[in-house]
Structure 1
Amino acid sequence: MKATALNRRQEITDADFLKFRDFFYRKTGIHFDEGKRYFVDKRLIERIEATGADDFRSYFIALRFETKGTELQQLVNAMTVNETYFFREAYQFDCMVKDMLNEIVKRKRPGGRIRIWSIPSSTGEEPYSIAIYLLERWPLIDQYEVEILSSDIDTTVLESAQRGVYSARSVGQLPPEYLARYFKQRNANEFVISRDLVAAVDFSRVNLTDASDTRAFRDIDIIFCRNLLIYFDDLSRRVAAEAMYDAMSPGGFICLGHSESMSRITPLFQPRRFADAMVHQKPIKGDRA
């Protein structure tokens, strides 16, 4: 009863919503339209209650002026949606091992380094899918030093990814032999990924629209950035696209979600159509953009 009464006292007004939306956008690049109003209000009220603030005004003042950013990170974790599964949109992984990597290695010395970046990492299904695909389906995996990087703005999902415990639904698209090889079944609905795969991925917290977060990423050969830019407005999309462009090696490739198009965001990349997928490429010096 007490919690119900508190919920009735907490109300996010139209003015509150606009204040919060502008603040969150400045901090993350994520834009909430009116269609997300119920979701935003619900999560805000949960954080107001969790922190013991009296109302939105007192919560928002404390949020704006906190020095360590602890509550902001908790809020980001609450406001970001993470739903994925292993081998999602696997045609792009097929393109990676059949086409993209074969072009990339032509510009590498024998035994050279290949860097692949998955952002957002969510709970780890995508970067671990990349690792499994490389181990199982790329014949040259033993001939190059491959680094898999994976990032997210949500620290909760990064922790979940490093724990590596997945539901039956999450692993449902994996071939049975891969499931047996890389997972241990704990019970009917829990599968624990191999610690060797966990060690193969370098996880980090990154805000793709914050230059101080992205400047450490350089010489990336392939980026998977799927279904993230749809949460940004036009300006934030351009900022994110330029950050990824700066992070990539010339000739590197980027994979977006099936409903996303880089050509609507920036002319920096060239579209490339392979047998399995349409991707985007950073031009090599001398190539025409």
Structure 2
Amino acid sequence: MSASFSKSITLKKDFKIQDDEFLQLRDFIYKQSGIYIGDNRKYLLENRLANRLKEHNLKSFGEYFYFLRYDVNRKIELNKLFEVITTNETSFFRNPPQIKVFQDIILKELIQTKRSKAQKYMHIWSAGCSTGEEPYTMSIVLHELLGSELPLWRIRITANDLSQSVLAAARRGIYSQYALRTTPPEIVRKYFNEEKPGRFVVQDSVKQLVDFGQINLSDRFQLKKVPRSDIVFCRNVVIYFDDEMKKNVINSFYDNLLPGGYLFIGHSESLHNISRAFRPIHHPGALVYLKEG
């Protein structure tokens, strides 16, 4: 048995979350972030927070809850908490059928419409951007579509996440081969510099279109500060929310979108029973939601 595996077993034995502790932490997390952890996922908190208890030499989850409420370092720890309770599994050009619809249909139509109106500006919002693969993918797609015309446009991609650590990684823009597993090889050669084998850095031209910042999707005041968008991406994020929170977030996206704007959510997600405000548009391999007007 490896030392690391043995250590993880010890942690699970040492730190058992009691029912009242689970309820305290579950409600605290919901209030702070809108992320809802169901009763059947008690093990998730126990497993993911064990190392946080060890880090601060705490003896119980009750002590950890007290730490989050009252310690002078509670704001720093809150970011650590967000980091461990969310999953940041992503990649460049994730779900290629969706990206193809974004590039070949939605974005091309949007560019043509704006050209016809002499409105060469665009805003796209990546809400839940994780370590940056999604907004950088959007930037690359825009470079591909606009080419030498790009400098004539005013384009911003606002990329937000709850976790400060993943945002820091996104700003660095350094990725492994695994993060590029769904990226066409010619795109890798064109928009990344391979510093050393298996270590790829996004080129500055791609970074320049993207603004990263922390946001809490449960905070309506923060959401209202995001510029009005032509397209909103929020993929595999609302799965963490309960029904009330889902409705609030989707309504905020609707309010943020300009008339004729589009919302992309995860390919396995749906707005069914969440919102009837959007018109679903079916494309081969992808479903997008239109704000009519």
Deviation at 1:54, TM superposition (A): 3.4
Deviation at 1:172, TM superposition (A): 2.1
* Count of equivalent residues: 283
The match for 1:104 is 110
Q: Residue 144 of structure 1 is aligned with which of 141, 149, 153?
A: 153
Classify 1:7/1:35 alpha carbon distance in 2 versus 1 (closer, same or farther; 3 Å). Answer: closer
Where do 5+ consecutive residues of structure 2 fail to align? none
The match for 1:262 is 271
Query: Which stretch has the larger CA shift, 264-273 or 151-160?
Result: 264-273
Q: Residue 84 of structure 1 is aligned with which of 86, 90, 93?
A: 90
CA contact under 8 A between 1:208 and 1:243: conserved in structure 2?
no
The match for 1:116 is 124
Where do 5+ consecutive residues of structure 1 fail to align? 285-289
Deviation at 1:242, TM superposition (A): 1.1
The match for 2:281 is 272
Deviation at 1:143, TM superposition (A): 5.0
Alignment deviations for residues 51-87 of structure 1 (CA, whole Å, 9 cap, x no partner): 2333222221121235762211211111111011111
Normalized against structure 1, the TM-score is what?
A: 0.89
Q: Distance in 2 between matches of 1:269 and 1:218?
A: 20
Deviation at 1:200, TM superposition (A): 2.0
Q: Distance in 2 between matches of 1:141 and 1:81?
A: 34
SS of corresponding position for 1:121? coil
Q: Residue 253 of structure 2 is aligned with which of 226, 240, 244?
A: 244
The match for 2:101 is 95
The match for 1:209 is 218
CA contact under 8 A between 1:104 and 1:251: conserved in structure 2?
no
Deviation at 1:196, TM superposition (A): 2.5
**AA partner of residue 56 (structure 1):** F
Deviation at 1:186, TM superposition (A): 2.5
The match for 1:65 is 70
User: Sequence identity, in percent?
Assistant: 34
Q: Residue 44 of structure 2 is aligned with which of 35, 39, 42?
A: 39
Query: Which stretch has the larger CA shift, 274-283 or 166-175?
Result: 274-283
Q: Residue 253 of structure 1 is aligned with which of 247, 258, 262?
A: 262
SS of corresponding position for 2:178? coil
Task: Say yes or no: does 1:22 pair with 2:4.
Answer: no
Normalized against structure 2, the TM-score is what?
A: 0.88
Deviation at 1:276, TM superposition (A): 5.5
**AA partner of residue 99 (structure 2):** F
Deviation at 1:102, TM superposition (A): 4.1
Query: Which stretch has the larger CA shift, 268-277 or 172-181?
Result: 268-277
CA contact under 8 A between 1:99 and 1:274: conserved in structure 2?
no
CA contact under 8 A between 2:156 and 2:210: conserved in structure 1?
yes
CA contact under 8 A between 2:167 and 2:214: conserved in structure 1?
yes
Q: Distance in 2 between matches of 1:271 and 1:14?
A: 41
Cα RMSD of the aligned pairs, angstroms, is 2.3
CA contact under 8 A between 1:43 and 1:79: conserved in structure 2?
yes
CA contact under 8 A between 1:110 and 1:144: conserved in structure 2?
no
Query: Which stretch has the larger CA shift, 97-106 or 68-77?
Result: 97-106
More helix by share: 2
**AA partner of residue 45 (structure 2):** V
The match for 1:11 is 16
Query: Which stretch has the larger CA shift, 266-275 or 154-163?
Result: 266-275
Task: Say yes or no: does 1:126 pair with 2:134.
Answer: yes
